[in-house]
Structure 1
Amino acid sequence: MKKVFKYILIGILVLGVIYATNFFISTNNQDPIKYESVAPIRTNIEKKTVATGKVVPEDQVEIKPQISGIIEEVFVKEGEILKSGDLIAKIKVVPNEAALNSALGRVDNAKIVLSNAQIDYDRNKALFDKKVISAQDFNGVELRFNQAKQELINAEADLQIIKSGTAGRGAANTNIRSTVSGTVLDIPVKKGDQVIESNNFNPGTTVATIADLTNMIFEGQVDEAEVGKLKIDMPLQISLGAINDKTFEAKLRFVAPQGVEEQGAVQFKIEANVFLDTNFFVRAGYSANATIVIGESTDVLAIKEALVQFDEETEEPFVEVEIGEQQFEKRTIELGISDGINVEILSGLKETDKVKVWNITEPIKKTSDKDKKKKRR
């Protein structure tokens, strides 16, 4: 009797295992998620790229002195609007000892030469008046005398320039004036600073930077993947970090022929003329983003880009099209341009098709106060 009971028990256990296995397999074959499907739409798609940069004045000039010395007085402040010729600063000349000594020696030498030429002139003048020498001989003597007088004048003028910065014949070189009209952006010097003149061997000390803030351009960079799609005179939308909810129209005017590698990516410089709004004051150096439309399709068939899948082996794009109740078939498609949300469908889908929403995300469950208390315990 015990053996029969034992066999019955074993038989029941075996049947239970078989039933549980069949149930597990059948339930696993069923997809627990019910997928939704959506139809393609007709819409307009614009592919855009964004260039980062800044707005700067197109005309910006650095004012430099014409003579070396020490800043004696600064007459303007940053932000002031100047006209061409306005006085910016004045320089006090500190003579160079070697140049001063050379100029003094040149003056003394010119006086000696003039004194000798004066004696020679007076002697030959008397002889010429008595008709002892010819007019040709006297003219040579007179020429040398006049040249000696002019040399003394030149030497004294050079000495005066070394001492005071001017020979007294015009505007003093010690007065630094604006060469253009515009706004003073920067004055990097102050009273007492030593400055160096601009010459062939030295750019000189910048006394002031002046720019026309009514004529601004955008300077930015674009990636090499997008630069080939840019064309001169393309429209841009400029947004400034300092001015919210306002965009400025611009027109592309320059694309660099050579790129520069930055952090492993090749960037190309671009420039665009910015059309300012007089209701807004745009300062030089504002950071800016330029939005450029590099591709556009009107009234095209499109789906959400998130619905597109890619084959692991061929990397070709495909979607799953509904053919029945929770039944879908794989269909290869050809893609056009994308704006990051919608993507153009060139082939593979019709307006009547319905595409599987394969990447369903469950909403985040909010934790109740009771659950929080339970977790704390």
Structure 2
Amino acid sequence: MNKYLKYFLIFAFIVGILAAAVFFISSNSKSSITYETQKPFISSIEKKTVATGKVVPEDEVEIKPQISGIIEKIYLEEGAKVKAGDLIAKIKIVPNEQSLNQSRGRVRNAEIALNNTTIEYNRNKALFDKGVISSQDFNNLQLQIDQAKQELSNAQADYQIIRRGSAGGSATANTNIRATVSGTILEIPVEEGDQVIQSNNFNDGTTIASIADLTKMIFEGKVDEGEVGKLQVGTPLKISLGAVEGAELDAKLKFIAPKGVEETGAVQFKIEGDVEVKEDVFIRAGYSANASIVLEKKDSILVISEALLQFDKKTDKPYVELAVGSAEEQKWERKEIEIGISDGVNVEIVSGLTESDEIKQWNKTEPIKKGEEDEEGEEDSEESED
């Protein structure tokens, strides 16, 4: 009886060990990973760049005075639409005392000279009528009196210009500041009572107002030197405005700067594009904008998802892994390929693949389950105690 009991106990012990081993292996083994595949497909790729900048009027005109003085009255406000010739402001003349005194003295001298010439003329005219002097001498006196009258007229006109700003007080007097072009008043940087300086050869003068046509706008932006070589005049642009949500305007590139400017370590080139303004979108001068520019475009080409690419660590050449055999076997073969342009999502396949190839799709890392976290935590704690 003891002999059979002994064999039974040995058998039970062996079975227990085998059961424990099976349980241990099954509890610690991980399920095999199954990879999915993707096939190349025919699509189109556009390689784009974005230029940041702003939308400004094509032509902006600054209105400056032709005479110095003080702003007496401003008749219009910023944002008003004007036509060429509309009155914007009026200047009150504050003449220079020295210039005014000199001009007044010139008028007085001209009057004295005219009176003296008139007396001489009247005396010699009586002699000429009696035939005492020749006609040539009398004609010289006639010329002198005409010149004296002209000099007096000029002196009086200069005096009026210094004193009032114009000689005749006409509607085109220098004291009236009028619009020189039609458009919208963008800015009036002066106020009533401000002193302004005239525009001359040595001074730009004080700006009374700036006017621009808001129906003719351009985009001004900058692009990096690595992309400017791919741009051509006439390239279409898509302009998106930061201040107008959802608005997208069409434009055409019309200017590329021949010289770049270094900014924060990178060379930037200025570009300009004519913007097609829509009637239902009101654009203010200076809106910040982004221009989307298509640098390169290819239609009906073989592409794959860029996430399928791998790169050799030594040669940095691209390759993919192709399925060999059936999908259940999960066998893969490395295949080097040649790629072309990319838009960040898909990449062009120049050579190395066909539409029938099955490409290995790398699975995303799965999160660790709660039970596995607890087991790993216990193991870490035991190791730290040891």
User: Which residue number corresponds to residue 16 of structure 1?
Assistant: none
Aligned ranges 1:293-332 → 2 under 5 Å: 293-324=294-325, 325-332=329-336
User: Which residue number corresponds to residue 339 of structure 2?
Assistant: 335
User: Which residue number corresponds to residue 253 of structure 1?
Assistant: 254
Cα distance in 1 for residues equivalent to 2:273 and 2:135? 73
User: Which residue number corresponds to residue 157 of structure 2?
Assistant: 157
Cα distance in 1 for residues equivalent to 2:227 and 2:295? 8
Cα offset for 1:316?
2.1
1:50 aligns with 2:53: no
Cα distance in 2 for residues equivalent to 1:363 and 1:134? 125
Cα offset for 1:328?
2.6
Structure 1 residues 317 and 31: CA distance shift in structure 2, 3 A? farther
- Relative to the length of structure 2, the TM-score reads 0.83
Cα distance in 1 for residues equivalent to 2:191 and 2:237? 41
User: Which residue number corresponds to residue 384 of structure 2?
Assistant: none
User: Which residue number corresponds to residue 173 of structure 2?
Assistant: 172
1:39 aligns with 2:57: no
Cα distance in 1 for residues equivalent to 2:145 and 2:359? 106
Cα offset for 1:301?
0.6
User: Which residue number corresponds to residue 208 of structure 2?
Assistant: 207
- Residue 72 of structure 2 aligns with an amino acid whose one-letter code is E
Aligned ranges 1:265-284 → 2 under 5 Å: 265-284=266-285
Q: Identity over the aligned pairs, expressed in percent?
A: 62
Cα distance in 1 for residues equivalent to 2:319 and 2:151? 93
1:362 to 350, 360, 365: 365
User: Which residue number corresponds to residue 138 of structure 1?
Assistant: 138
Name the SS for the 2:186 alignment partner: strand
Cα distance in 1 for residues equivalent to 2:198 and 2:97? 17
User: Which residue number corresponds to residue 185 of structure 2?
Assistant: 184
Name the SS for the 2:251 alignment partner: strand
Cα distance in 2 for residues equivalent to 1:189 and 1:364? 67
Cα offset for 1:251?
1.4
Cα offset for 1:312?
2.5
User: Which residue number corresponds to residue 383 of structure 2?
Assistant: none
- Residue 306 of structure 1 aligns with an amino acid whose one-letter code is A
Cα distance in 2 for residues equivalent to 1:366 and 1:69? 83
Cα distance in 1 for residues equivalent to 2:248 and 2:37? 39
Cα distance in 2 for residues equivalent to 1:125 and 1:222? 84
Structure 1 residues 124 and 332: CA distance shift in structure 2, 3 A? farther
Cα offset for 1:353?
1.6
Cα offset for 1:59?
2.2
Query: C-alpha offsets along residues 225-272 of structure 1, whole Å, 9 cap, x if unaligned?
Result: 111111122211111111122211111111111111111111111111
User: Which residue number corresponds to residue 7 of structure 1?
Assistant: none
Cα offset for 1:31?
11
Unaligned stretches of 5+ residues in structure 1: 1-23, 372-377
Name the SS for the 2:120 alignment partner: helix
Structure 1 residues 31 and 99: CA distance shift in structure 2, 3 A? farther
Query: C-alpha offsets along residues 339-372 of structure 1, whole Å, 9 cap, x if unaligned?
Result: 11111111121212222234x33366899xxx9x
Cα offset for 1:120?
2.4
User: Which residue number corresponds to residue 117 of structure 1?
Assistant: 117
Cα distance in 1 for residues equivalent to 2:180 and 2:71? 18
Query: C-alpha offsets along residues 170-229 of structure 1, whole Å, 9 cap, x if unaligned?
Result: 321111000111111111001100111111111111111111111111111111111111
Cα distance in 1 for residues equivalent to 2:158 and 2:236? 57
Unaligned stretches of 5+ residues in structure 2: 1-24, 375-386
Cα distance in 1 for residues equivalent to 2:213 and 2:40? 52
Name the SS for the 1:149 alignment partner: helix
Name the SS for the 2:289 alignment partner: strand
Name the SS for the 1:189 alignment partner: coil
- Relative to the length of structure 1, the TM-score reads 0.85
Cα distance in 1 for residues equivalent to 2:113 and 2:340? 90
Name the SS for the 2:245 alignment partner: strand
What is the RMSD computed on CA atoms of the aligned residues?
2.5
Name the SS for the 1:91 alignment partner: strand
User: Which residue number corresponds to residue 104 of structure 1?
Assistant: 104
Cα distance in 1 for residues equivalent to 2:188 and 2:318? 59
Cα distance in 1 for residues equivalent to 2:205 and 2:367? 66
Cα distance in 2 for residues equivalent to 1:365 and 1:122? 124
Q: How many residues align?
A: 343
Cα distance in 2 for residues equivalent to 1:251 and 1:54? 15
